[in-house]
Amino acid sequence: MTEIAIRQVPAEEARSLLPLLRQAQDFHHAALPRVFRDDETDADLGRFLDEWLAREGVVALAAVSEAGGILGCAVYEVEEVAAKPLIAARRNGMLRHLVVDAAWRGQGLGSRLVEEVKARLKADGVDRLRAHHYAFNEVSAAVLGKAGLSPLLVLVEGET
Protein backbone atom coordinates (compact mmCIF):
# COMPACT_ATOMS: atom_id res chain seq x y z
CA MET A 1 0.00 0.00 0.00
CA THR A 2 1.24 3.47 -0.85
CA GLU A 3 2.18 5.67 2.09
CA ILE A 4 0.56 9.09 1.77
CA ALA A 5 1.77 12.16 3.65
CA ILE A 6 0.04 15.49 4.00
CA ARG A 7 2.31 18.51 3.75
CA GLN A 8 2.02 22.23 3.29
CA VAL A 9 2.61 23.50 -0.24
CA PRO A 10 4.81 26.62 -0.21
CA ALA A 11 3.71 29.49 -2.45
CA GLU A 12 6.68 28.92 -4.75
CA GLU A 13 5.29 25.44 -5.52
CA ALA A 14 1.77 26.69 -6.26
CA ARG A 15 1.84 25.47 -9.85
CA SER A 16 2.27 21.88 -8.66
CA LEU A 17 -1.46 22.06 -7.89
CA LEU A 18 -2.36 22.97 -11.48
CA PRO A 19 -3.46 19.46 -12.59
CA LEU A 20 -5.84 19.23 -9.62
CA LEU A 21 -7.19 22.74 -10.22
CA ARG A 22 -7.81 21.80 -13.85
CA GLN A 23 -9.72 18.65 -12.82
CA ALA A 24 -11.88 20.65 -10.41
CA GLN A 25 -12.50 23.37 -12.98
CA ASP A 26 -13.52 20.84 -15.64
CA PHE A 27 -15.90 19.15 -13.17
CA HIS A 28 -17.53 22.46 -12.25
CA HIS A 29 -17.70 23.69 -15.84
CA ALA A 30 -19.46 20.48 -16.94
CA ALA A 31 -22.17 21.09 -14.34
CA LEU A 32 -22.44 24.89 -14.62
CA PRO A 33 -20.98 26.15 -17.90
CA ARG A 34 -22.63 29.55 -17.41
CA VAL A 35 -20.65 30.05 -14.21
CA PHE A 36 -17.34 28.23 -14.69
CA ARG A 37 -14.94 28.97 -17.53
CA ASP A 38 -13.12 26.39 -19.62
CA ASP A 39 -11.08 28.76 -21.78
CA GLU A 40 -8.29 29.55 -19.31
CA THR A 41 -4.83 28.42 -20.33
CA ASP A 42 -2.49 26.61 -17.97
CA ALA A 43 -0.44 29.82 -17.87
CA ASP A 44 -3.53 31.78 -16.74
CA LEU A 45 -4.40 29.23 -14.08
CA GLY A 46 -0.77 29.04 -12.99
CA ARG A 47 -0.69 32.81 -12.44
CA PHE A 48 -3.94 32.54 -10.49
CA LEU A 49 -2.41 29.85 -8.24
CA ASP A 50 0.79 31.86 -7.78
CA GLU A 51 -1.14 34.94 -6.67
CA TRP A 52 -3.61 33.01 -4.52
CA LEU A 53 -1.06 31.02 -2.52
CA ALA A 54 1.14 34.11 -2.08
CA ARG A 55 -1.67 35.92 -0.24
CA GLU A 56 -1.26 36.44 3.49
CA GLY A 57 -2.90 33.65 5.48
CA VAL A 58 -3.70 31.32 2.58
CA VAL A 59 -2.52 27.78 3.30
CA ALA A 60 -2.41 24.92 0.80
CA LEU A 61 -2.02 21.32 1.91
CA ALA A 62 -1.27 18.42 -0.40
CA ALA A 63 -1.68 14.68 -0.03
CA VAL A 64 1.59 13.37 -1.46
CA SER A 65 2.54 9.82 -2.49
CA GLU A 66 5.84 8.17 -1.59
CA ALA A 67 7.01 8.99 -5.13
CA GLY A 68 6.20 12.68 -4.63
CA GLY A 69 3.02 12.83 -6.71
CA ILE A 70 0.31 15.19 -5.51
CA LEU A 71 -2.88 13.18 -5.08
CA GLY A 72 -5.14 15.81 -3.55
CA CYS A 73 -5.13 19.26 -2.04
CA ALA A 74 -7.00 21.58 0.29
CA VAL A 75 -6.65 25.36 0.42
CA TYR A 76 -7.89 27.28 3.43
CA GLU A 77 -7.49 30.53 5.30
CA VAL A 78 -8.64 32.18 8.51
CA GLU A 79 -11.33 34.78 8.03
CA GLU A 80 -11.69 37.52 10.62
CA VAL A 81 -15.32 38.62 10.84
CA ALA A 82 -15.73 42.03 12.46
CA ALA A 83 -18.61 42.67 14.84
CA LYS A 84 -21.59 44.40 13.27
CA PRO A 85 -24.87 45.54 14.82
CA LEU A 86 -26.47 42.14 14.18
CA ILE A 87 -23.45 39.81 14.01
CA ALA A 88 -20.82 38.89 16.61
CA ALA A 89 -17.11 39.08 15.83
CA ARG A 90 -15.54 35.71 15.15
CA ARG A 91 -12.65 33.87 13.54
CA ASN A 92 -13.47 31.06 11.17
CA GLY A 93 -11.40 28.71 9.14
CA MET A 94 -12.62 28.87 5.55
CA LEU A 95 -11.97 25.87 3.32
CA ARG A 96 -11.75 27.41 -0.13
CA HIS A 97 -10.77 24.42 -2.24
CA LEU A 98 -10.73 20.64 -1.86
CA VAL A 99 -9.95 18.23 -4.68
CA VAL A 100 -8.62 14.69 -4.98
CA ASP A 101 -7.12 13.36 -8.20
CA ALA A 102 -9.65 11.25 -10.10
CA ALA A 103 -7.48 8.13 -9.80
CA TRP A 104 -7.40 8.42 -6.00
CA ARG A 105 -11.03 9.27 -5.21
CA GLY A 106 -13.01 7.06 -2.87
CA GLN A 107 -10.01 6.23 -0.67
CA GLY A 108 -10.56 8.78 2.08
CA LEU A 109 -8.02 11.37 0.95
CA GLY A 110 -10.55 14.20 0.95
CA SER A 111 -11.50 13.33 4.52
CA ARG A 112 -7.85 13.16 5.57
CA LEU A 113 -7.20 16.58 4.07
CA VAL A 114 -10.22 18.11 5.84
CA GLU A 115 -9.17 16.57 9.16
CA GLU A 116 -5.67 18.02 8.72
CA VAL A 117 -7.15 21.46 7.99
CA LYS A 118 -9.25 21.17 11.16
CA ALA A 119 -6.25 20.10 13.25
CA ARG A 120 -4.12 23.00 12.02
CA LEU A 121 -6.90 25.51 12.62
CA LYS A 122 -7.48 24.16 16.12
CA ALA A 123 -3.75 24.44 16.86
CA ASP A 124 -4.00 28.10 15.79
CA GLY A 125 -6.91 28.73 18.15
CA VAL A 126 -9.65 28.66 15.50
CA ASP A 127 -12.61 26.53 16.57
CA ARG A 128 -14.90 26.76 13.52
CA LEU A 129 -14.45 25.55 9.95
CA ARG A 130 -16.68 26.76 7.16
CA ALA A 131 -16.83 25.71 3.53
CA HIS A 132 -19.13 26.12 0.60
CA HIS A 133 -19.88 23.88 -2.34
CA TYR A 134 -22.37 23.80 -5.18
CA ALA A 135 -25.54 21.77 -4.68
CA PHE A 136 -24.62 19.37 -7.52
CA ASN A 137 -21.40 18.38 -5.74
CA GLU A 138 -22.68 15.48 -3.67
CA VAL A 139 -19.18 14.17 -2.94
CA SER A 140 -18.15 17.45 -1.32
CA ALA A 141 -21.36 17.45 0.71
CA ALA A 142 -20.61 13.93 1.93
CA VAL A 143 -16.95 14.60 2.78
CA LEU A 144 -17.79 17.80 4.64
CA GLY A 145 -20.71 16.15 6.43
CA LYS A 146 -18.48 13.29 7.53
CA ALA A 147 -16.11 15.92 8.97
CA GLY A 148 -18.93 17.35 11.08
CA LEU A 149 -19.89 20.32 8.92
CA SER A 150 -23.58 20.92 8.32
CA PRO A 151 -25.54 23.42 6.21
CA LEU A 152 -25.87 26.80 7.87
CA LEU A 153 -26.73 29.26 5.10
CA VAL A 154 -28.67 28.42 1.95
CA LEU A 155 -28.13 30.55 -1.16
CA VAL A 156 -30.77 30.27 -3.87
CA GLU A 157 -30.51 31.47 -7.45
CA GLY A 158 -32.85 31.77 -10.41
CA GLU A 159 -33.55 33.58 -13.63
CA THR A 160 -34.76 37.18 -13.60
For the chain, domains (ranges, CATH) are 4-146 (3.40.630.30)
Helix (H) or strand (E) holding 8: strand 4-9
Average pLDDT over residues 9-30: 97
Written as one letter, the residue type at 99 is: V
Identify the pLDDT of residue 2: 73
What does the mean pLDDT of the chain come to? Answer: 96
Q: Please say if the pLDDT value at position 116 is more than 60.
A: yes
> Dihedrals φ, ψ of 87, to 5°?
-130, 135
**Per-residue pLDDT tens over the stretch 95-109:** 999 999 999 999 999
pLDDT class for 85, splitting at 50, 70, 90? very high
Between the alpha carbon of residue 21 and those of residues 68, 123, 141, the distances in Å are 18, 27, 19
pLDDT class for 92, splitting at 50, 70, 90? very high
Q: Which of 40, 15, 29, 9 is nearest to 113 (CA)?
A: 9
pLDDT class for 37, splitting at 50, 70, 90? very high
Q: Is 121 helix (H, G, I), strand (E, B) or coil?
A: helix
Q: What angle do CA 85, 86, 90 make, to 5 degrees?
A: 95
Calculate Rg over the CA atoms of the chain: 16
Identify the pLDDT of residue 1: 56
**Per-residue pLDDT tens over the stretch 42-59:** 999 999 999 999 999 999
Helix 109-123 × helix 138-146 angle, to 10° = 50
> Dihedrals φ, ψ of 34, to 5°?
-70, -25
